[in-house]
Structure 1
Amino acid sequence: MSTAGLSTPFKAEFDVNSQEFSLSGVIRPRSIEEIAVNILMLKEAIDQVRGVLYINVRRLVQMNNTAFQAFARVVLDTCQTRPDIRFVIVTSSVVGWTTRMFEHLNRIEPQITIEVYDSTFYPGQSFVEDTSFIPILRTQTKMTWRHERTILPRHGMRSGITMADICCGIGDFAVLVQKEFQPARIVALDHSKASLAYAREVATGFGIADIEYTYGDASEMLLEDDQFDFVSCRHSLQIFNQPEVLLAELYRICRPGGRVYVTNEKNSHCLGEPRSQSIQWTYNEVAKLFSHFEMDVELGPKSRRYLTDAGFDDIIVESFMVTNLDGDPRDFAEVITAWENVYAGEMAVKRGDSPEFIQRFRQGFQDHIFAALHPKGYAGWPIWVASGRKPL
């Protein structure tokens, strides 16, 4: 429910099915009376639960001391009278002050625990946010941009629009869009602080100062509803274990009539010649490896289904092949080398693969590099592009 009477509204909601009481927005009452209805809602929620009550403050932007003391008092008093109940307060690193503030309650009362939601954001987070990947990401974007710059207008890109680039990584895509299409506004959001720091450096290097780089959780964004004409999310649905959750957020921030644009892969379709059999075997294994960590690098052709299920209409799907013939083949080889280092290195080792398997796995990447650099060779990396319109 929305709270009336305050200068800035907020939301307090209780979901009995998940036993979760949520607070979001800005809570700055002048007196406890202004939030009395919400305090009562919390008490009623406590009466209805058994075991654990989750208090979700992931999207709580501000909270003054009056509000904190009022909600905290209810929780602490309950701990004294209800030894059968536990409280789990779910915070986010995106809004770091909530963790610091609510951890105080954990020190007072052992029945209260704090969970930082995005400390284990998704199963593959440590791999995709590996800072060793940062230099090669720029090369990847350079290779895909040759194709995307002609594709984007078909999916709603044009000058003067408002745009959000979600999971922006090192921010180079936003920079290229700004230079090529000149949107009126770009917000670029990512969960990796190292990537965002690099993104700001890239933008400065290009002399671009009007991209709003923002730290955030893509599945729980602190961005308002119906804001953007164009929302991009590239190579990211495939690394979330719940892509539908991310799509719901992309849908929420997109304006009615605006479009959400996604790119994803089907890694088992990576190819090369010569040594095609070794290459094919390795990329089939890449798909299995990612699946082990609850990521789906086969998602590309599934994009239409995901967009339809998320509520979009007027869905456009197309694909392109990045190859060793797109510019310098050494760029292609550098990308494959980076994949080998992470996939056949850290990821395969963490899965517990044998030295014999890893040796064969690495050989497929080496053969792909061989194909890319061979004077008569061909190497390809397929990308699926899809967009959907948010209905009016």
Structure 2
Amino acid sequence: MSPRLSPPRFRTEYNENDQVFSISGTLRPQGVQELASSLAQLQDAARRSHGVLYIDMRRLVLMNNTAFHALTGVMVEACRARPELRLVVVISTIVGWAARRFRHLSQIEPAIAVETYDSDFYPGQAFLEEGGFIPILRTQTKMTWRHEREILPRHGMRPGLAVADICCGIGDFAVLVHKEFQPSRIVALDHSRSSLAYARKVADDFGIQGIEYTYGDAAQMLVSDNQFDFVTCRHSLQIFNRPELILKELHRICRPGGRIYVTNEKNSHCLGEPRAESIQWTYNEVAKLFAHFEMDVELGPKSRRYLIEAGLEDIRIESFMVTNLDGDPQDFVNVVSAWEGVYAGDMAVRRGDSPEFIERFRQGFQDHIYAALHPKGYAGWPIWVASGRKPA
């Protein structure tokens, strides 16, 4: 009786329309014979492709030397057999070993290029990953949670669910959900190492257990399909230049019948009184500034369309206004002050704005602070909440 072979822990697929050969999972064969069908598939893809063949390794978790040498051998052989063919190996910074293994491949064969997928995917995120931005994130979560703890159950949140918080930032929201709703499991994933380091430190300091903090690319998560009952992505679709790719991944990891929950802003609707005109001008300019860096902080009301186009059903959408009357007005002031520091500081300078523009730009933030602290004043920051169910 022949021994039973364990099922393969990797998957290969060729998309002829896009000329993409994809490899995902864990590629650790004992011998080359275990890869025979995949190598033959790659050879066939190289024969059938014209111009450029993409080798997509963004979801390849591990690869041993046997697999590496076998695959790269087929790639080099294909290029030398067909001098007109170019191969582009696509990797991600999330999978650190990939860059080390493949960096020298183009030196061996000039027709093979290695591209880092997510180096250009987050064009503006660097502004929001700096350690100095952490206090603003903590204060923002503190202010929005007063509203969201009441809103979440209307969108399907309840105790005992398997929850994923994608683009979790510093992890505050995951902690609050963990305490309030007691999920059976909660995974918090982000692309920022500094934010995750902070999140883990807070969890350790406060003795919080049960949250799985994970480093990962929200557009190419190393997470299996159909795992979570409730998937959240807060204030994040608006900072990516291709939010539909994030939603595609949220859809993939959500179980059929589960819900995807997103929050986004419309910064031009930030308001204040007195000094409303100055405040309005500045936040209109904030939207333009973010657009310059390929981010859309006007996305809030568009959330319903994005969720429908992602294939979700039973769409629920609502909005709420965070104001200076929600607890201590100084919290609102701290948020606006942090916005001024980042938006009128590094971002405006890097765009090349004039000193005169930056001075007027800053004045609007200062006037928003004035409105928040004025004894008769009102200052607001609007948030849109939307969720949809993945069809069963």
Task: Name whichever of 170-179 and 9-18 sits farther off.
Answer: 9-18
Do residues 242 (structure 1) and 261 (structure 2) align? no
Number of equivalences: 389
Do residues 215 (structure 1) and 219 (structure 2) align? no
Match of 1:181 in 2: 181
Give, in whole Å, the separation in 2 of the partners of 1:169 and 1:278.
31
Q: Are the counterparts in 2 of residues 274 and 377 from structure 1 also a CA contact under 8 Å?
A: yes
Q: Are the counterparts in 2 of residues 6 and 28 from structure 1 also a CA contact under 8 Å?
A: no
Match of 2:305 in 1: 305
Do residues 257 (structure 1) and 241 (structure 2) align? no
> How many angstroms does 1:63 deviate by?
1.8
Do residues 141 (structure 1) and 141 (structure 2) align? yes
Match of 2:295 in 1: 295
* Counterparts of residues 39-50 of structure 1 (less than 5 Å): 39-50=39-50
Which amino acid in the other structure matches residue 140 of structure 2?
Answer: Q
Give, in whole Å, the separation in 2 of the partners of 1:141 and 1:176.
9
Match of 1:366 in 2: 366
TM-score (normalised: structure 2): 0.96
| Cα root mean square deviation, aligned | 1.5
Match of 2:330 in 1: 330
Deviation string 1:131-157 (CA, Å, 9 cap, x unpaired) is 211121101100000111111111111
Match of 2:196 in 1: 196
* Counterparts of residues 121-140 of structure 1 (less than 5 Å): 121-140=121-140
* Counterparts of residues 247-286 of structure 1 (less than 5 Å): 247-286=247-286
> How many angstroms does 1:180 deviate by?
1.1
Which amino acid in the other structure matches residue 164 of structure 2?
Answer: A
Query: Which secondary structure does the structure 2 equivalent of 1:213 belong to?
Result: strand
Which amino acid in the other structure matches residue 277 of structure 2?
Answer: Q
Give, in whole Å, the separation in 2 of the partners of 1:7 and 1:254.
24
Query: Which secondary structure does the structure 2 equivalent of 1:363 belong to?
Result: helix
Query: Which secondary structure does the structure 1 equivalent of 2:332 belong to?
Result: helix
Give, in whole Å, the separation in 2 of the partners of 1:292 and 1:119.
18
Task: Name whichever of 85-94 and 219-228 sits farther off.
Answer: 85-94
Q: Are the counterparts in 1 of residues 166 and 218 from structure 2 also a CA contact under 8 Å?
A: yes
Q: Are the counterparts in 2 of residues 172 and 203 from structure 1 also a CA contact under 8 Å?
A: no
Which amino acid in the other structure matches residue 333 of structure 1?
Answer: V
Q: Are the counterparts in 1 of residues 21 and 56 from structure 2 also a CA contact under 8 Å?
A: yes
Give, in whole Å, the separation in 2 of the partners of 1:353 and 1:127.
16
Which amino acid in the other structure matches residue 173 of structure 1?
Answer: F
Give, in whole Å, the separation in 2 of the partners of 1:259 and 1:358.
42
Q: Are the counterparts in 1 of residues 313 and 389 from structure 2 also a CA contact under 8 Å?
A: yes
* Counterparts of residues 78-93 of structure 1 (less than 5 Å): 78-93=78-93
Q: Are the counterparts in 2 of residues 26 and 61 from structure 1 also a CA contact under 8 Å?
A: yes
Q: Are the counterparts in 1 of residues 165 and 233 from structure 2 also a CA contact under 8 Å?
A: yes
Ranges in structure 1 where 5+ consecutive residues have no aligned partner: none
Instruction: Report the identity percentage.
Output: 70
Match of 2:55 in 1: 55
Match of 1:229 in 2: 229
> How many angstroms does 1:15 deviate by?
2.1
Ranges in structure 2 where 5+ consecutive residues have no aligned partner: none
Give, in whole Å, the separation in 2 of the partners of 1:181 and 1:79.
55
Q: Are the counterparts in 1 of residues 266 and 298 from structure 2 also a CA contact under 8 Å?
A: yes
> How many angstroms does 1:113 deviate by?
2.4
Match of 1:7 in 2: 7
Give, in whole Å, the separation in 2 of the partners of 1:132 and 1:85.
47
Give, in whole Å, the separation in 2 of the partners of 1:166 and 1:317.
19
Match of 1:104 in 2: 104
Task: Name whichever of 282-291 and 104-113 sits farther off.
Answer: 104-113
Q: Are the counterparts in 1 of residues 130 and 194 from structure 2 also a CA contact under 8 Å?
A: no
In the superposition, relative to structure 1, how do residues 130 and 121 fare at CA in structure 2: closer, same or farther (>3 Å)?
Answer: farther
Give, in whole Å, the separation in 2 of the partners of 1:332 and 1:297.
18
Query: Which secondary structure does the structure 1 equivalent of 2:340 belong to?
Result: helix
Task: Name whichever of 239-248 and 124-133 sits farther off.
Answer: 124-133
Q: Are the counterparts in 2 of residues 191 and 218 from structure 1 also a CA contact under 8 Å?
A: yes
Deviation string 1:154-207 (CA, Å, 9 cap, x unpaired) is 111111111000000000000011111111110000000000000011222332
Which amino acid in the other structure matches residue 313 of structure 1?
Answer: E
Query: Which secondary structure does the structure 2 equivalent of 1:94 belong to?
Result: coil
> How many angstroms does 1:80 deviate by?
3.1
> How many angstroms does 1:381 deviate by?
0.2
Match of 2:320 in 1: 320
TM-score (normalised: structure 1): 0.96
> How many angstroms does 1:5 deviate by?
5.7
Q: Are the counterparts in 1 of residues 169 and 196 from structure 2 also a CA contact under 8 Å?
A: yes
